[in-house]
């Protein structure tokens, strides 16, 4: 897949910018705070309809502006698409998604036109952070593979919000307890494909990440694997199982005012040589594990779309030792890659096709 043009309007510290990155490797170089990560974030927004680093769309609108937009032109095999997202500062206005010049009603319709894998410093949270971060990793991967997955999680979270709101109403002796069954049914219907897809994806992810880990670390004896953790993971029929769990825990849920079972409680266990990685591995080992997961993500997306995703590397190279850096770069060959660096020195040994200098929200050919 090729990104041929990126256009931003009032996005972060960019009033206006148009870039035409070549195939191969483009480096954005500039001082801290210049706006390098902002460019990668805009590309991520075009792929997934959201930032990789903030849940608040409004953060991406240039300070003092009412609206912000990012557009990308992409080429894949013989097809050419233009996708875009417009954000609004006003609370009650929803973001607008464009596909080939038309607005589309659902964010899901954006998915798959343009795919990316982002390596960023925030990735360490996949190892160290709350289960939410690992679910989000899976959700972003699967949403890029299949829009049906994205619709399922959207439906699920909408039903969950309604169910939890009803639990709170019931506690105040308002609302109709019968209505719980309606939300339970919606939860179950959406949860079933979510659990199946997550379960299958984690098996594939684990096999691939294990290989990548061994390759990047260059150390045979360390074995990295991933395990899907869900109260529904072992069931042949996760929907039926969730229905039983929801019924059995109804009293508890009413007391705690929240829903105790379901894929919103899932987690991903990261295991290195038999030990849970979080409390055991070194900083460098954790970083290698995360890189291995991202590389596995590339494989899965390439397989799903019969075409490699765009690679976005934010500040990752400077943190790796030389051997790891060389092996990582070696495994990325052939894909269009956009990366950031504060200093070209950190790219020793790499020959970029294009170097762009970023200074205070402006981009110059270096």
Ligand X SMILES: Nc1ncnc2c1ncn2[C@@H]1O[C@H](COP(=O)(O)OP(=O)(O)OP(=O)(O)O)[C@@H](O)[C@H]1O
If the CB atoms of residues 51 and 217 are measured against ligand X, the closer one turns out to be: 51
State yes or no: residue 26 binds ligand X (CB under 6 A): no
Q: Given candidates 6, 25, 29, 34, which one binds ligand X under the rule CB under 6 A? A: 34
Q: Given candidates 17, 26, 30, 50, which one binds ligand X under the rule CB under 6 A? A: 30
If the CB atoms of residues 53 and 157 are measured against ligand X, the closer one turns out to be: 53
Which of the choices Mg ion, ligand X, none does residue 63 contact, using the CB cut-off of 5 to 8 A by kind? ligand X
If the CB atoms of residues 244 and 360 are measured against Mg ion, the closer one turns out to be: 360
Q: Which two tokens stand for residue 230?
A: 């869900």
State yes or no: residue 85 binds ligand X (CB under 6 A): no
State yes or no: residue 63 binds ligand X (CB under 6 A): yes
Give me the residues that bind Mg ion (CB under 5 A), please.
37
Residue 251: HSE in the Cβ half-sphere, 13 Å Cα cutoff: 1
Restricted to residues 261-300, the positions that interact with ligand X (CB under 6 A) are none
Neighbours of 361 (CB within 10 A): 17
CB of 13 to ligand X, least distance (A): 4
What is the C-alpha to C-alpha distance for residues 7 and 73, in angstroms, rounded to an integer? 9
CB of 56 to Mg ion, least distance (A): 18
Q: Given candidates 331, 342, 355, 366, which one binds ligand X under the rule CB under 6 A? A: 342
- Please count the residues of the chain: 366
CA-CA-CA-CA torsion for 352, 336, 347, 60, nearest 10 degrees?
A: 110
Q: Are strands 337-341 and 25-29 parallel, antiparallel or unpaired?
A: parallel
Phi/psi at 55 (nearest 5 deg)? -80, -5
Which of the choices ligand X, Mg ion, none does residue 299 contact, using the CB cut-off of 5 to 8 A by kind? none
What is the C-alpha to C-alpha distance for residues 337 and 360, in angstroms, rounded to an integer? 22
Neighbours of 94 (CB within 10 A): 10
State yes or no: residue 32 binds ligand X (CB under 6 A): yes
Q: Which two tokens stand for residue 147?
A: 């829009």
State yes or no: residue 37 binds ligand X (CB under 6 A): yes
State yes or no: residue 36 binds ligand X (CB under 6 A): yes
Site string for ligand X, 299-318 (x = CB under 6 A): ----------------x---
If the CB atoms of residues 15 and 284 are measured against ligand X, the closer one turns out to be: 15
CB of 278 to ligand X, least distance (A): 25
What SS3 class is residue 242? helix
State yes or no: residue 8 binds ligand X (CB under 6 A): no
Which of the choices Mg ion, ligand X, none does residue 75 contact, using the CB cut-off of 5 to 8 A by kind? none
Stretch that binds ligand X, among 25-33, 100-108, 183-191, 243-251 (CB under 6 A): 25-33
What is the C-alpha to C-alpha distance for residues 213 and 289, in angstroms, rounded to an integer? 6
What is the C-alpha to C-alpha distance for residues 145 and 204, in angstroms, rounded to an integer? 13
Which residue number has the CB closest to Mg ion? Answer: 37
Which of the choices Mg ion, ligand X, none does residue 38 contact, using the CB cut-off of 5 to 8 A by kind? ligand X
Stretch that binds ligand X, among 58-66, 202-210, 273-281, 288-296 (CB under 6 A): 58-66
Partner residues linked to 9 by β-bridges? 16, 69
Residue 220, judged by CB atoms within 10 A of its CB (0-12, 13-18, 19+), counts as exposed
Stretch that binds ligand X, among 19-27, 32-40, 187-195, 225-233 (CB under 6 A): 32-40
Q: Which residues have a Cβ under 8 Å from the Cβ of 132 and sit 6 or more positions away? A: none
Contact (Cβ atoms closer than 8 angstroms) between residue 314 and residue 40: yes
If the CB atoms of residues 25 and 166 are measured against ligand X, the closer one turns out to be: 25
Which of the choices ligand X, Mg ion, none does residue 108 contact, using the CB cut-off of 5 to 8 A by kind? none
Tell me how far CA of residue 135 lies from CA of 209, 255, 273, in angstroms. 17, 26, 23
What is the C-alpha to C-alpha distance for residues 111 and 302, in angstroms, rounded to an integer? 14
> Where do contacts with ligand X occur on this chain (CB under 6 A)?
12-13, 30, 32-38, 59, 61-63, 315, 340, 342
């Amino acid at each position: 897949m090729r990104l041929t043009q990126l256009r931003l309007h009032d996005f972060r510290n960019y009033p206006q910018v148009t870039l035409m990155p070549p195939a191969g490797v483009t480096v954005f170089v500039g001082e801290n705070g210049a706006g390098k990560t902002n460019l990668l974030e805009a590309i991520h927004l075009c792929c997934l309809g959201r930032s990789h680093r903030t849940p608040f769309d409004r953060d991406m609108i240039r300070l003092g502006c009412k609206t912000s937009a990012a557009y990308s032109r992409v080429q894949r095999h013989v097809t050419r698409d233009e996708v875009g997202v417009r954000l609004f500062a006003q609370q009650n206005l929803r973001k607008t998604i464009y596909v080939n010049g038309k607005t589309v009603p659902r964010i899901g319709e954006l998915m798959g036109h343009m795919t990316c894998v982002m390596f960023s410093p925030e990735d360490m949270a996949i190892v160290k952070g709350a289960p939410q971060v690992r679910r989000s990793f899976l959700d972003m991967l699967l949403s890029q593979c299949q829009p049906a997955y994205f619709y399922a999680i959207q439906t699920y979270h909408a039903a969950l919000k309604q169910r939890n709101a009803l639990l709170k109403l019931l506690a105040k002796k308002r609302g109709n307890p019968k209505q719980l069954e309606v939300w339970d049914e919606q939860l179950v219907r959406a949860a079933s494909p979510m659990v199946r897809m997550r379960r299958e994806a984690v098996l594939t992810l684990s096999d691939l990440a294990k290989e990548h880990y061994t390759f990047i670390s260059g150390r045979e004896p360390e074995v990295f694997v991933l395990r899907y953790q869900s109260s529904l993971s072992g069931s042949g029929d996760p929907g039926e199982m969730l229905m039983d769990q929801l019924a059995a825990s109804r009293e508890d849920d009413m007391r705690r005012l929240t829903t105790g079972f379901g894929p919103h409680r899932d987690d991903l266990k990261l295991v290195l040589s038999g030990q849970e990685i979080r409390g055991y591995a070194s900083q460098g080992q954790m970083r290698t594990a995360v890189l291995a997961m991202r590389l596995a993500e590339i494989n899965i997306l390439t397989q799903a779309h019969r075409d490699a995703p765009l690679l976005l590397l934010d500040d990752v190279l400077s943190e790796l030792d030389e051997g790891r850096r060389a092996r990582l770069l070696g495994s990325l060959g052939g894909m269009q890659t956009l990366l950031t660096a504060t200093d070209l020195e950190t790219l020793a040994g790499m020959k970029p096709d294009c170097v762009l200098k970023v200074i205070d929200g402006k981009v110059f050919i270096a």
